[in-house]
């Protein structure tokens, strides 16, 4: 019996596709520790590509795990989104 630890996050496929499509930004929801683990070094791999696409991420798992957020390069969106929502509601 095999354990299922989370979704199969195709980081290599995303890198390959990014070389063709040349996006400006890749944004992913990270909802489990296995997914977060697969994203270690992902931003630096993107940064070494032509066009250097930005990597942004969000998700409940990431919000609850600051130590893991600190291990990932990239832009953590949740706090920025929450700040924007709060500022919009206050005006």
In a domain, 3, yes or no: no
The arrangement of strands across the sheet holding 75-76 comes to 25-29, 54-58, 75-76
Q: Which of 85, 86, 28, 88 is nearest to 61 (CA)?
A: 28
In a domain, 4, yes or no: no
Query: pLDDT digit string (tens) for 38-76?
Result: 899 999 999 999 999 999 999 889 999 999 999 998 999
C-beta of residue 64 within 8 angstroms of C-beta of residue 31: no
pTM here is 0.74
In a domain, 5, yes or no: no
In a domain, 73, yes or no: yes
Total domain count, the chain: 1
Q: 54-58 and 75-76: which strand pairing? A: parallel
């Amino acid at each position: 019996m095999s354990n299922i630890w989370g979704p199969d996050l195709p980081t290599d496929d995303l890198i390959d596709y990014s070389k063709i499509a040349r996006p400006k930004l890749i944004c992913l929801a990270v909802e489990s520790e296995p997914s977060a683990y697969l994203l270690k070094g992902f931003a630096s791999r993107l940064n070494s590509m032509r066009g250097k696409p930005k990597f942004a991420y969000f998700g409940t798992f990431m919000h609850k795990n600051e130590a893991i957020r600190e291990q990932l390069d990239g832009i953590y969106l949740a706090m920025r989104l929450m700040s924007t929502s709060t500022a919009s509601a206050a005006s």
